[in-house]
Structure 1
Amino acid sequence: MELPTTDRLVRRTGLSQRSGTLCHDGFDRCDEEWAMGFVGEIWRVLHGRELAGEITIEEADFPWLVGRFTPGPAFAAVKPLFDRDLELMESQDWSEWEEAYAAIRKEVSLVAPSGPAAEFLLHIEKDEAWFRWSDTPFDES
């Protein structure tokens, strides 16, 4: 697991890392260009085939997307899983957190405007959600 850095998302997750991709003048415009492609998108959180909620992307800080979370009809069924996720991150109990997050992955899928995310790390707290994703499965070997 990555050690925390000092960016804004670390206050929420302790897991963020910057891309380290700087343009020739030292500014992080490369990340800004990446980010602009996501702001305003709506991603769906599903519990089975039911809508657990929608995330309207408001900010991107590579590799994280952050947005306003609007719960859907199925959110009540998975909310305790996300509450546990936050509790274990706060206490930095990473072995328990891995088990708790496995339960989230079993019960929830994340769908981008272009289709389902193969892998993701999603956190929801009140009306805010932040996540990172991959469009290809992680290699577990």
Structure 2
Amino acid sequence: MNENISENMKNKVPEVAFIIAAGKKHGIGHVKRCSIIAERGKRYFNSYFCIPGYEGYSDIKKIVKFPIINISDIETRSKIGKVYDLFVTDCRDTGRRFTRDLARLAPVISIDDLGRGTMHAVMRIISLPSLK
């Protein structure tokens, strides 16, 4: 185990919240990608999915095999001191305030985000376009 990991984390399964843009404007590609990441990591961390506006898209519930939460769940948990260990955002254009507020609770990894919020992420991942 890494020496930099605190004693509290050694016995705790990390909790990761995936915050994803999906729906009419964004499609479900972000959901598929994060579901694959969560599935591959399920031995190492617990995953939760926050997909604002997903209601009415039955395809999303077929893809996501993890608990689906909403933003107010994240806010409520943070107020009682039970925060997530990591946020992964897969949104195209996050705002600075949104990502900054998340980063105050836990580190943020940003995937394919072109918004100004990426300045508050500890890591920014830009994937290559799919060539068909």
- TM-score range (shorter-chain normalised) is under 0.3
Q: Which has the higher contact order (CA 8 A, sep 6+)?
A: 2
TM, length-normalised to structure 2: 0.27
Higher strand share: 1
